[in-house]
């Protein structure tokens, strides 16, 4: 994609449908080149293997709203692969346990029923959460595991489909919810192990995929049509 700079500076909130394989920061870099605005941030990252809604904040008056926007509730479509767990709880990690047990649909539903309303969740070691000033994933990469305090999050989980080894769920959740932790926990509950193999963020607050400009269209469509002001 050849990037073209805009002639007039813009500011606002731009919902983007991030592509699988792209890093969150790569969107910031692309927008800086297109808009000629240096002050650009986002309201919450997505892992490279994940896709879906990311809120990009253009201009200083919007980057200062990042904490407020990060706190918005979110909705995800998650694909879970049963039969193997990884150290990162997702497809990017190293397999740590396997099982050939095939859960029945009734067992699946019972496990999913646990992830409703307020639940206690321990942040995974491979996460950006800080403990004593250190990001957990930095410690995890050195083979260091530290105690993490459980946190209370609010979730609403729906079974979409199940065809072993693939389980698909939809999760509406509050700030700070780790979907890959839910995947790992479901695997443990079912005695089969599991990891998150695909993830699409469907919504952040009132902004859904329908409001987004596709990442691949950033240079070809007028951004102004997709920018929101607060």
In the set 47, 90, 185, 214, the catalytic residue is: 47
Q: Count the Cβ atoms, other than its own, within 10 Å of residue 115.
A: 21
Q: What interhelical angle do 179-189 and 105-113 show, nearest 10?
A: 130
Q: Count the Cβ atoms, other than its own, within 10 Å of residue 198.
A: 17
CB 11 within 8 A of CB 209: no
Beta strand 51-58 with 12-18: parallel, antiparallel or unpaired? antiparallel
Nearest-angstrom CA–CA distance, 222 and 227: 10
How far apart, in Å, do the first and last CA atoms of the chain sit?
30
Residue that has been written with the tokens 């939809």 in this structure: 170
Catalytic annotation on 47? Answer: yes
Question: 97: closest CA among 81, 79, 77?
Answer: 81
Q: Give the catalytic positions in this structure.
A: 47
């Amino acid at each position: 994609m050849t990037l073209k700079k805009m002639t007039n500076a813009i500011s606002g909130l731009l919902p983007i449908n991030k592509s699988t394989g792209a890093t969150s920061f790569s969107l910031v870099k692309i927008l800086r080149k297109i808009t000629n605005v240096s002050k650009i941030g986002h309201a919450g990252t997505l892992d490279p293997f994940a896709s879906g809604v990311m809120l990009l904040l253009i201009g200083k008056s919007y980057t200062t709203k990042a904490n407020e926007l990060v706190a918005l509730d979110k909705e995800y479509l998650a694909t879970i692969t049963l039969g193997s767990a990884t150290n990162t709880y997702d497809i990017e990690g190293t397999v740590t346990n396997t099982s050939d047990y095939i859960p029945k649909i009734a067992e699946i539903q019972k496990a999913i029923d646990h992830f409703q309303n307020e639940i206690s969740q321990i942040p995974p070691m491979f996460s950006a959460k800080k403990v004593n000033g250190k990001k957990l994933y930095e410690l995890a990469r050195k083979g260091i595991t530290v105690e993490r305090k459980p946190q209370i999050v609010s979730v609403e989980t729906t079974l979409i489909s199940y065809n072993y080894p693939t389980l698909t769920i939809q999760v509406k959740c509050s700030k700070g919810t780790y979907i890959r932790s839910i995947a790992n926990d479901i695997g443990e509950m079912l005695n089969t192990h599991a990891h998150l193999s695909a993830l699409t963020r469907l919504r952040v607050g009132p902004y859904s995929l329908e409001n987004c400009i596709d990442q691949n269209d950033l240079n070809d469509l007028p951004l102004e049509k997709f920018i929101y002001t607060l």
